[in-house]
Amino acid sequence: MIKELFFTNVPASVAVIGLVLYFFGMAVVFITNPIKNAESFAVKPVDNAGKTEIRVYYGGISFALGAFLLYLTIKLGTPVYSLVGGLFFATTVFVTRSIFLCVDKGWKCPYTKLAIPAEGAFVIALWTCYILSKTLY
């Protein structure tokens, strides 16, 4: 069943697998070691409740997004809708970050120097998979 689902639309399937692995990876990273990993994202909790918030919002929501995209793919029998959901998420994060790094003057921060090219490449890869999924299938 999973193998057949993958071949219904290979570009969309590859993108969804990447999205699910990304979200599950982020969940594990932030749930298991929230402070160290949040600080690498330039986020620092002021107390233990902040540590919990990092686990919940960076870890828990990442897990939920990955699980939802996987569920949606299986339930609908196609990865295309999950890819579209991932495109909404990734493109919105990238555009919002790009706008507010200018507003907040955060372009010189070490995290921004990593995030912008990485997120930009991720968004381009997702859009490429989306275009291929519509062109080839």
Which pLDDT value is given to residue 41?
Answer: 84
Query: What residue type is assigned to position 127 of the chain?
Result: W
Which tokens sit at 92? 């919105």
Q: Helices 80-103 and 110-136 sit at what angle, rounded to 10 degrees?
A: 150
> pLDDT tens digits, residue range 38-95?
998 889 999 999 999 999 999 999 999 999 999 999 999 999 999 999 999 999 999 9
Which pLDDT value is given to residue 123?
Answer: 98
Q: Residue 125: CA atoms inside 13 Å, Cβ hemisphere, count?
A: 15
Give the domain ranges of the chain: 2-136
Which pLDDT value is given to residue 67?
Answer: 98
pTM to 2 decimals?
A: 0.90
Q: Residue 10: CA atoms inside 13 Å, Cβ hemisphere, count?
A: 3
